Amino acid sequence: MIDKSLFQFPRIRRQLMVLSLLSFIQAAAIVAQAIGLSQALVAIWQLRKISALLMPMLVFFSAFILRQLMDVAKNQAATHYADENITRLRPLIQRQYFRLGPAYLHRTGTGSAVTVVIDGLDQVKTYIQTVLPKVTDMIFVPLLTLIYVFYENWVSGIVLFIMLPLIFFFMAILGLAARAKSNQQYADFTQLNNSFVDTILGLPTLKMLGVSDQYEDQIYSVSERFRQKTMSVIKVALTSTFALDFFTTLAIAIIAVFLGYRLIDGSIVLYPALVSLILAPEFFLPIRQFGDDYHATLNGKNALQQVNDLLATPVPPVAQAIDWAGWGADSQLTLTSVDFHYPDAAADTLALHDIHLQAAGMANIAIIGRSGSGKSTLMNLLAGFNQPQQGARITLDGQPLTSFNQPQWQDSVSYIPQDPYIFSATIAANIRFYVPDASDAAVQQAARQAGLTDWLAALPAGLDTMIGEGQRGISGGQAQRIAVARVLLDHHRRILLFDEPTAHLDIETEYELKQTLLPLFQDHLVIFATHRLHWLTAMDQIIVLEHGRISEQGTLAQLRGTGGALDRLVAEMGGKQDAHFAEN
């Protein structure tokens, strides 16, 4: 129930010592409280005066308060410790995502990564602060109460002691049965639950198809089936709570009856009997509480496991620094025998195989291929997000690189994907992303060059307009232009990596964006992955990818009309190269 990885947390020993001490004091207070209460009750039973009650009542009440204070102290200590660890883990997780990079994030899904950081950590917090004090309570409270009961009345002590393993035994049996049963039903259960959400989400479609009325009855019948399934899962869980309750209350009843008989035959007196009876429920309390919270802590345990797994994922190494001033007109990049393999793919399937590529100066290189041919994988590799296999040879201006995950290379690169990253801020702040300290004039000029002028003129706040989530919505074309303005602002980034920048745009927007981009190509090394053929005429070199391999490479003039890979692709993609209408 307690996750082993908790023992690796910083200062966990100290924390457990503190909690143990508090639990110990609390257990002592519980015993003292019982002693005071029993003495007071015995005094009443003995028909003594009120003055005889005062001392025991004082003992009872002070012990009672001390016990409650220990609860406060334990919770406070555990909560504080949990918060401390969350504060420690949060940046570690984010840093880990940073190091693992966008390619990793894309594979696991951004949504689930965000969930780990936000909801996952909440659950971990609840787990830590619940489980730690419960564990120390489970050790000390039963132990001390048992010792005292033994001391006063060994027979009651034995009854309690016998009940304990019995309870654990039944809990274990029922727990296993419950798990087996719920595993078996869990699939149905979630399917039925999801089916409701599914139907609600698909409601517009159902309505469109004119079948929404028929589904109303189905919702009810599916929900009722869901209820039956849930009830059978709940019954098992409740049965285990019932068993736990049953044995603890039964133990109290047995002790009471047993003590009664012993009192009648005179073998004991009232005080030890009463104190045993009062301590019996206290003896079982921590176990019952643990049972109640068991399901609540399960989520936290799983979340902690997820966090641990994430932090244990190996991070791609950062390539060594080189003596390099950045990309220039006479720079040279050579890739030889570059292979790439996705970590979760089968061992023998390479996503990129035997890539040879040369880029010099301000060349414009198109990478073209059908969906799934490896264009994006290659772009991710060039940006340093994917790491090549061993044996790849990369040279940048004569110096070897082990990968593109290299600070100086990345400082020279702009990476423009299909959906550029727009964060919630002003347009100006978005444009300043690469150069946070750029002057207003420079931002304005970049915006103008990127073709944002008309749009900005129509906005009352101009460059200071807030955009991004929950703000003013912007179109795909505008997002691309902001990304372009970012590039224009940073004169150091001479390498432009484009990954299908216009795939989602309508034809008119694409046409206009192209007019903006073409002048930019002149003084940059451009590597442009696309499946839109019209870009090819603007390129010096064309690389055709098929199944992760380069099948053809050369200028447009060299490749056209040879009946090779490019011609085949053009035939499939464009089809009617001679405008169909021309014949009309």
Partner 1 sequence: MHTSQKTKPRLRNYLRAWHNDHWFWPYLKQNKLRLALIFFVGVLTFICAGALMFTSGYLISKSATHPFNILAVYVPVVLTRAFGIGRPAFKYLERINSHNWVLNVVSKLRVQLYRTLAKDAAFLHEHQQTGKIFGLLADDLDHLENFYLRTIFPTIVAYLVWLLVTIVMGIFTWLGAIAVALILAVVLIVVPMLSLRQAASGYAVQKARKAHEYTTVTEHYLGLGDWVITHRQDRFTAAGNDDASVTQQSVAAQERFQRWRNFAIQVIFGLLALGLILGTQRLLGGSQRLANYSAAVVLSLFPLIDCFLPVAQAMAEVPLYSDSLAHLNELSASVAAAAPAPVAQADAPAAIQEIKFDHVTFAYGPDQPKLLDDFSLTVHGREKVAILGPSGEGKTTILQLLLGDLTPQKGQITVNGIPVAQLQQARPALFGYLNQAPFLFNTTIRANIRLGASDAADDAIWAALQAVGLADVVRSLPAGLDTVVTESGQRFSGGQQQRLALARILLKKTPVLLLDEPTIGLDPITEQALMAMIMQASTDRTLIWVTHHLQGLEQANQAIFLTDGHISMAGRPATLYRDNARFRALYALDVGQL
Q: Which position among 114, 158, 177, 180 is part of the footprint of partner 1 (CB under 8 A)?
A: 114
Of 337 and 551, which CB lies nearer to partner 1 in the complex structure?
551
Of 125 and 341, which CB lies nearer to partner 1 in the complex structure?
125
- Give residues 401-420 in contact with partner 1 (rule: CB under 8 A): 407, 410-411, 413-415, 417, 419
The residue type at 308:
N
At its nearest, how many Å lie between partner 1 and the CB of residue 366? 12
- Give residues 68-97 in contact with partner 1 (rule: CB under 8 A): 68-69, 71-72, 75-76, 79, 83, 86-87, 90-91, 94-95, 97
Q: Residue 6 carries which DSSP code? A: G
Of 161 and 189, which CB lies nearer to partner 1 in the complex structure?
189
At its nearest, how many Å lie between partner 1 and the CB of residue 3? 22
Six token digits for residue 191? 């399917």
At its nearest, how many Å lie between partner 1 and the CB of residue 506? 4
Of 262 and 549, which CB lies nearer to partner 1 in the complex structure?
262
At its nearest, how many Å lie between partner 1 and the CB of residue 189? 12
- Give residues 439-468 in contact with partner 1 (rule: CB under 8 A): 468
Of 549 and 568, which CB lies nearer to partner 1 in the complex structure?
568
At its nearest, how many Å lie between partner 1 and the CB of residue 260? 4
The half-sphere exposure of 555 on its side-chain side, counting CA atoms within 13 A, is 5
17 to 56: interface string for partner 1, x by CB under 8 A: --------------------x--xx--xxxxx-x--x---
Stretch that binds partner 1, among 67-75, 170-178, 304-312, 390-398 (CB under 8 A): 67-75
Six token digits for residue 194? 């999801």
Q: Are 433 and 479 in contact (CB under 8 A)?
A: no
Distance (Å, rounded) from C-alpha 346 to C-alpha 2?
A: 36
- Give residues 209-228 in contact with partner 1 (rule: CB under 8 A): 209-216, 219-220, 223-224, 226-227
Beta pairing partners, 525 = 495
The residue type at 337:
S
Distance (Å, rounded) from C-alpha 421 to C-alpha 499?
A: 13
Stretch that binds partner 1, among 164-172, 295-303, 380-388, 445-453 (CB under 8 A): 380-388
Q: Are 546 and 565 in contact (CB under 8 A)?
A: yes
**Whole-number CA gyration radius for the chain:** 36
Distance (Å, rounded) from C-alpha 29 to C-alpha 35?
A: 10
Phi, psi of 467 (to 5 degrees): -130, 175
At its nearest, how many Å lie between partner 1 and the CB of residue 446? 16
Please report whether residue 198 would count as binding partner 1 according to CB under 8 A.
yes
Please report whether residue 298 would count as binding partner 1 according to CB under 8 A.
no
Q: Which position among 133, 388, 476, 501 is part of the footprint of partner 1 (CB under 8 A)?
A: 476
- Give residues 506-525 in contact with partner 1 (rule: CB under 8 A): 506-511, 514
- Give residues 417-436 in contact with partner 1 (rule: CB under 8 A): 417, 419, 421-424, 433-434
Distance (Å, rounded) from C-alpha 431 to C-alpha 465?
A: 12
Cα 142 to Cα 28, 176, 205, 261, 317: the distances in Å are 11, 25, 60, 25, 52
Q: Residue 438 carries which DSSP code? A: -
Cα 215 to Cα 20, 195, 204, 221: the distances in Å are 57, 12, 12, 10
Please report whether residue 389 would count as binding partner 1 according to CB under 8 A.
no
Of 325 and 507, which CB lies nearer to partner 1 in the complex structure?
507
Please report whether residue 235 would count as binding partner 1 according to CB under 8 A.
yes
Nearest CA among 271, 298, 232 for reference residue 152: 271
Q: Which position among 371, 390, 460, 522 is part of the footprint of partner 1 (CB under 8 A)?
A: 371
Of 165 and 261, which CB lies nearer to partner 1 in the complex structure?
261
Q: Residue 417 carries which DSSP code? A: -
Distance (Å, rounded) from C-alpha 376 to C-alpha 485?
A: 23
Please report whether residue 4 would count as binding partner 1 according to CB under 8 A.
no
At its nearest, how many Å lie between partner 1 and the CB of residue 373? 10
Distance (Å, rounded) from C-alpha 1 to C-alpha 47?
A: 49
- Give residues 131-170 in contact with partner 1 (rule: CB under 8 A): none
Please report whether residue 7 would count as binding partner 1 according to CB under 8 A.
no
| The 3-state secondary structure of 449-518, one letter per residue | HCCCHHHHHHCCCHHHCEECCCCECCCHHHHHHHHHHHHHHCCCCCEEEEECCCCCCCHHHHHHHHHHHH
At its nearest, how many Å lie between partner 1 and the CB of residue 11? 19
Six token digits for residue 169? 């035994």
Q: Which position among 181, 353, 370, 547 is part of the footprint of partner 1 (CB under 8 A)?
A: 370
Of 324 and 433, which CB lies nearer to partner 1 in the complex structure?
433
Distance (Å, rounded) from C-alpha 372 to C-alpha 549?
A: 11
Q: Which position among 55, 118, 172, 461 is part of the footprint of partner 1 (CB under 8 A)?
A: 118
Q: Which position among 6, 31, 32, 113 is part of the footprint of partner 1 (CB under 8 A)?
A: 113
Stretch that binds partner 1, among 132-140, 159-167, 437-445, 501-509 (CB under 8 A): 501-509
Q: Residue 361 carries which DSSP code? A: T
Stretch that binds partner 1, among 10-18, 326-334, 346-354, 565-573 (CB under 8 A): 565-573
Q: Which position among 12, 105, 166, 322 is part of the footprint of partner 1 (CB under 8 A)?
A: 105
Q: What contacts 298, CB < 8 A, 6 or more positions away?
A: none
Six token digits for residue 520? 């930019």
Cα 221 to Cα 192, 217, 225, 235: the distances in Å are 10, 6, 6, 21
Alpha-helical regions (H) of 153-211: 154-201, 203-208
Of 99 and 181, which CB lies nearer to partner 1 in the complex structure?
99
Order of all β-strands in the sheet with 332-340: 352-360, 332-340, 393-396, 399-401
Q: Are 331 and 360 in contact (CB under 8 A)?
A: yes
Please report whether residue 264 would count as binding partner 1 according to CB under 8 A.
yes
Stretch that binds partner 1, among 3-11, 132-140, 238-246, 447-455 (CB under 8 A): 238-246
The residue to which tokens 């009232």 are assigned:
270
At its nearest, how many Å lie between partner 1 and the CB of residue 4? 26
Q: Residue count at the site for partner 1 (CB under 8 A)? A: 159
